[in-house]
């Protein structure tokens, strides 16, 4: 069942790097509750009920028409992109299973926004991959309790995040990556792992 459909509501980001991305910022809330729908519609438009009448202190969060048009054209392609992401992730998973611990697939419907692995030598692995022309990113390097905004929480409130934050690494994943590119990335990881054994 698609996410966002088994609760009262769901929130989606259409940030350009997302599985369904706009050309700029955008997002949506979905709900099957008319009262929530009314409230969210109002909040995104400054909390207005009528022109210049603000029932709530809302925000300016209207999705502009241009972004909506792009998203509407892209939406029908999403299942195809998801299938492609899953196929590439399966390839990574098969190839890398014995080496850099791809995170477990807990749900057969996983849409692979990212492909995250763990390495206790992340910095060296990143440097090695960068030297082979392969960009990697870290999602995310700073656990929430370490953010100034969430200073009231402690690291033990997010024990797993605290433990893995120094090890996680996102390998390239995008529906337009080719099988050959994923194979080249896996080979580069293998080379790093072999170098480690020899070192
Ligand atoms: C999703 C995402 C954002 C934006 O998220 P919003 O919920 O749309 O604000 C920003 N940066 C990265 C790397 C993201 O993946």
- Report the separation in Å between the CA atom of 123 and the middle of ligand 1, taken as the mean of its atom positions: 24
Which residue reads 């008319």 in tokens?
A: 34
Name residues contacting ligand 1 (CB within 6 A): 13, 15, 17-18, 27
Contact 119, 99 (CB under 8 A): no
Residue 149: burial class (beta carbons within 10 Å; 0-12, 13-18, 19+): exposed
Q: Residue 13 has which token pair?
A: 């980001």
pLDDT digits (tens, 9 = 90+) for 68-103: 999 999 999 999 999 999 999 999 999 998 777 777
What pLDDT was estimated at residue 107? 79
Rounded distance from Cα 15 to ligand 1 centre (Å): 6
The CATH number of 78-198 is 3.90.1150.10
Express each pLDDT in 35-64 by its tens digit.
999 999 999 999 999 999 999 999 999 999
Q: What band does 176 get if pLDDT is binned at 50, 70 and 90?
A: very high
Mean pLDDT across 111-116 = 94
Determine whether 34 is exposed, middle or buried from the number of CB atoms within 10 Å of its CB (0-12, 13-18, 19+): exposed
Mean pLDDT score across all residues of the chain: 93
CB 10 within 8 A of CB 30: yes
Pocket test for ligand 1, best of 11, 15, 139 (most atoms within 8 A of CB): 15
104 has pLDDT over 80: no
Beta bridge partners of 38: none
Kindly report the pTM of this predicted structure.
0.89
The reported pLDDT for the residue numbered 3 is 79
For ligand 1, the distance from its centroid to the CA atom of residue 13, given in whole angstroms, is 7
Could you please report the per-residue DSSP string of 63-99?
A: PPHHHHHHHHHHGGGHHHHHHHHHHHHHHHHHHHTTT
Neighbours of 133 (CB within 10 A): 8
Please give the distance, rounded to the nearest whole angstrom, from the Cα atom of residue 22 to the centre of ligand 1: 12
Residue 86, both tokens: 């899953």
Span from the CA of 26 to the centroid of ligand 1 (angstroms): 10
Query: For 106-124, what is the mean pLDDT?
Result: 91
Atom of ligand 1 nearest to the CA of 11: 7
Question: Which residues 6+ apart lie within 8 Å of 3 measured at CB?
Answer: 10
Is pLDDT of 199 > 70? no
Q: Report d(CA 7, CA 26) in Å as an integer.
A: 22
| pLDDT one-digit tens code per residue, 132-172 | 999 999 999 999 999 999 999 998 899 999 889 999 999 99
């Amino acid at each position: 069942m698609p996410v966002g459909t088994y609760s009262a509501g769901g929130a989606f980001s259409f940030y350009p790097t997302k599985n369904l991305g706009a050309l700029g910022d955008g997002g949506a809330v979905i709900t099957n509750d008319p009262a929530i729908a009314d409230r969210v519609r109002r909040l995104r438009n400054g909390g207005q009920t009528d022109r210049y009448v603000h029932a709530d202190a809302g925000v300016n969060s209207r999705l502009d028409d241009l972004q909506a048009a792009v998203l509407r054209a892209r939406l029908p392609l999403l299942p195809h992109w998801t299938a492609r992401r899953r196929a590439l992730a399966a390839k990574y998973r098969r190839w890398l299973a014995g080496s850099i611990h791809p995170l477990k697939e807990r749900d057969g419907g996983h849409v692979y926004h990212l492909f995250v692995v763990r390495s206790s030598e992340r910095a060296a692995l990143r440097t090695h991959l960068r030297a082979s022309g392969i960009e990697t990113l870290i999602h995310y390097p700073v656990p929430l309790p370490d953010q100034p905004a969430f200073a009231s929480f402690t690291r033990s409130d997010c024990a797993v995040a605290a433990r893995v934050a120094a090890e996680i690494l996102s390998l390239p994943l995008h529906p337009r990556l080719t099988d050959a590119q994923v194979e080249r990335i896996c080979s580069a990881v293998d080379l790093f792992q072999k170098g480690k054994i020899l070192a």
